[in-house]
Amino acid sequence: MTTKLKRLALTLATISASGLFLPGAFASEPVKGGTLIYLEQQAHTNLYPPAGGFYPNGGILNQITDKLTYQNPKTLEIEPWIAESWTVNADATEYTFKIRPGVTFSDGTPLDAAAVAKNYDVFGLGNKALKQPVSEVINNYERSEVVDPQTVKFFFKKPSPGFLQGTSVIGSGLVAASTLALPFEQLGDATKIIGSGPFVVDSETIGKELNLKAREEYAWGPAKLEHQGRAYLDGIKYIITGEDSVRIGALLAGQADFIRQVQAYDEKQVEAQDYQIYAPSTRGVNNSVVFRPDNPLVADVRVRKALLHATDAKEIVTTLFSANYPQATSIIASTALGYRDISAKLAFDPEKAKALLEEAGWTVGANGLRQKDGKELVLTAYESLPQPQNKETLQLVAQQWGKLGVKLTVLAGDSGSRVVDDLDPLKTPVSPAMVGRADPDVIKSQYYPKNRDVLRQKGGQSDKVQSFADDKLNGLLEALTAEPDREKRFAIAGEVQDYVIDQAYAIPIFEEPQAFAGAPYVQGIAFESVGRPSFYSTWLAEH
Amino acid sequence: MTTFDTIQDDAIASRHGQRAGGRFSLPHFVRRLPVGLALSWLVLAIAFLWAVAPWLFTSYNPLEGVGGEQLRRPDASHLLGTDALGRDLYARIVYGAVHSLTGAFVAVALGLVVGTTIGVIAGSVRRRVDDAIMRLVDVLLSIPPLMLSLSIIILLGFGTVNAAVAVGVTSVARFARLSRSEVVRVRRSDYVEAAFGSGGTFAAVLWRHVLPNSLTSVLAIAALQFGSAVLQISTLGFLGYGAPPPTPEWGLLIAEGRNYISTAWWLTTAPGVIVVLVVLAANRVSQSFGKVAA
Amino acid sequence: MSGYLLNRLGQALFVLWAAFTISFVLLQAMPGDAILIKFQNPELGLNPQQIADIRASYAADSAIWVQYIQTIGRFLTGNFGYSVQVGVPVSTMLAAHLPATLKLASLGFLLAAVFAVVIAFVSSLTPFAWLRGAIQSVPSLFISIPTFWLGIMLIQIFSFRLKLVPVINPGPWQELILPVFTLAVPISAPLAQVLVRNIDDVLTRPFVAVARAKGATRQWVLWRHVAKNALLPTLTIAGVLFGELIAGAVVTETVFGLNGIGGLTGRAVGSQDAAVLQAIVVFSALAFVTINLIVDLLFPVLDPRLRTKAGATA
Query: What's the confidence (pLDDT) of residue B209?
Result: 75
Nearest to A61 by CA among A130, A119, A129: A119
Confidence of residue C314 (pLDDT cuts 50, 70, 90): very low
Question: Which residues, in sequence order, are bridge partners of residue A96?
Answer: A87, A153
Query: How far is the C-alpha of B254 from the C-alpha of B119, rounded, in Å?
Result: 35
Confidence band for A19, pLDDT divided at 50, 70 and 90: very low
pLDDT at position C5 is: 80
Q: Could you tell me which residue, B219 or A257, shows the higher pLDDT?
A: A257
Share of chain A above pLDDT 90, in %: 70
Residue C172 vs residue A430, higher pLDDT: A430
- Identity of the residue in A245, A420, A461 whose CB atom sits nearest the CB atom of C31: A420
Residue A46: pLDDT band (50, 70, 90) is confident
CB atoms within 10 A of CB B68: 10
Calculate how close chain B gets to C196, using CA atoms only, in Å.
10
Q: Is the pLDDT of residue C242 over 80?
A: no
Subunit contact B86:A319, Cβ cutoff 8 A = yes
Sequence-distant (6+) residues with CB within 8 A of C246 are B144, B145, B146, C105, C261, C262, C265, C284
Q: Indicate the residue of C33, C54, C167 with minimum beta-carbon distance to A246.
A: C167
Residue A10 forms contact with C (CB below 8 Å): yes
Point out the residue among B63, B240, B259 whose CB comes nearest to the CB of A412: B240
Q: Which of residues 214-243 of B touch C (CB under 8 A)?
A: 227-228, 231, 234-235, 238-240
pLDDT at A239: 94
In angstroms, the CA A233 to CA A246 distance is 24
Cross-chain CB nearest to C145 (options B5, B145, B276): B276
Strand A35-40 to strand A235-240: parallel, antiparallel, or no bridges (unpaired)?
A: parallel
Check residue A110 and give its pLDDT. 96
Cβ atoms of residues A241 and A39 within 8 Å: yes
Res C300 pLDDT > 80: no
Model pLDDT, residue A39: 96
- B114 contact partners, CB below 8 Å, separation of at least 6: B168, B172, B175, B176
Quick one: pLDDT band at residue A276, thresholds 50, 70, 90?
Answer: very high
Predicted local confidence at residue C200, as pLDDT: 75
pLDDT band for A36, please (50, 70, 90 cuts).
very high
With beta carbons under 8 A apart, name residues in chain B contacting C31.
154
pLDDT (mean) for A222-245: 93
* CA–CA dist A494, A515 (Å, integer): 28
How large a percentage of chain A has pLDDT more than 70?
Answer: 94
Residues 6+ apart with CB under 8 A from B117: none
Q: Is the pLDDT of residue C182 over 50?
A: yes
Can you tell me the mean pLDDT for B224-245?
Answer: 86
Task: Note the pLDDT of residue C295.
Answer: 75
- The CA distances from residue B288 to A243, B16, C248, in Å, are 39, 11, 28
Chain C interface includes B261 (CB < 8 A)? yes
Q: Give pLDDT tens digits for A140-173.
A: 899 999 999 999 999 999 999 889 999 999 899 9
Q: Regarding the domain delimited by C95-270, which CATH topology (the fold level of the hierarchy) does it fall under?
A: MetI-like fold (1.10.3720)
pLDDT of B248 above 80: yes
C-alpha C144/C-alpha C189 separation (Å) is: 10
pLDDT of amino acid C309: 44
Rounded CA separation A185/A193 (Å): 12
Instruction: Please report, for residues A156, A441, A445, the alpha-carbon distance to residue A448 in angstroms, rounded to integers and kept in the order given.
Output: 19, 10, 6
Give one word for A483, left, alpha or beta, with left for phi > 0 and alpha for psi -120 to 50: beta
Give the chains touching B; criterion: ≥3 Cβ pairs < 8 Å.
A, C
Strands A276-278 and A522-523: unpaired
Q: What is the reported pLDDT for A385?
A: 83
**Predicted confidence (pLDDT) per residue in A399-415, tens digit:** 999 999 999 999 887 88
Quick check: C251 and B238 CB within 8 A?
yes
pLDDT reading at B23 higher than 70? no
Put simply, the answer to whether B258 touches A392 (Cβ < 8 Å) is no
pTM of the model: 0.85
CB B176 within 8 A of CB B218: no
C-beta separation of B137 from B128 below 8 A: no
pLDDT attached to residue B28:
59
The pLDDT value recorded for residue A7 is: 44
Look at residue B92 in the predicted model and tell me its pLDDT: 95
Q: Quickly count: other Cβ atoms within 10 Å of residue B190's Cβ.
A: 8
- The pLDDT tens digits for C274-296 are 999 999 999 888 888 888 788 77
**Stretch A113-133: mean pLDDT:** 92
Pick the more confident residue, C304 or C118.
Answer: C118
- Cβ neighbours for A496, distance < 8 A, ≥ 6 positions apart: A443, A447, A473, A476, A477, A480
Residues of C in Cβ contact (< 8 Å) with A246 = 152, 155, 167-168, 255, 257
Average pLDDT over residues C193-220: 75
Please judge whether B272 and C244 are an interchain contact, meaning their C-beta atoms are less than 8 angstroms apart. no
CB A414 within 8 A of CB C28: no
Lowest model confidence (mean pLDDT) among A383-397, B132-146, C47-61: C47-61
Mean pLDDT, rounded, for B120-141: 86
Residue B202 confidence (pLDDT): 72
Domain residue ranges in chain C: 2-76, 95-270
- The pLDDT score that the predictor gives to residue C61 is 81
Say if the Cβ atoms of B246 and A413 lie within 8 Å: no
Q: What domains lie within chain B, and their CATH numbers? A: 30-60+70-293 (1.10.3720.10)
Interface with chain A: mutation pick from C168, C178, C258, highest number of A CBs within 10 Å: C168
Q: What is the pLDDT of residues B208-232, one digit of tens each?
A: 777 777 777 777 778 878 888 988 8
- When mean pLDDT is compared across A52-66, A158-172, A346-360, B240-254, the lowest value belongs to B240-254
In this prediction the ipTM stands at 0.83
C93-125 pLDDT, tens digit each:
899 888 888 899 889 988 998 898 888 888 877
Which are the contacts of A435, defined by CB distance < 8 A and separation ≥ 6? A53, A284, A285, A442, A445, A446, A452, C42
pLDDT for the residue C44: 66
CB of C261 within 8 Å of a chain A CB? The answer is: no
Q: What pLDDT shows up at residue A11?
A: 41
Average pLDDT, chain B: 82
Q: Which of C113, C172, C180, C170 is nearest to C150 (CA)?
A: C180
Q: Are A529 and A58 in contact (CB under 8 A)?
A: no
Q: Is B8 touching C (CB cutoff 8 A)?
A: yes
Task: Indicate the range of A47-61, B92-106, C228-242 predicted with least confidence.
Answer: C228-242
Neighbouring C-beta atoms of residue A145, cutoff 10 Å: 13
Q: What is the pLDDT of residue A320?
A: 94
In this prediction, residues A224-251 reach a mean pLDDT of 93
For residue C239, what pLDDT is reported?
Answer: 61
Give tens-digit pLDDT for A71-112: 998 888 999 999 999 999 999 999 999 999 999 999 999 999
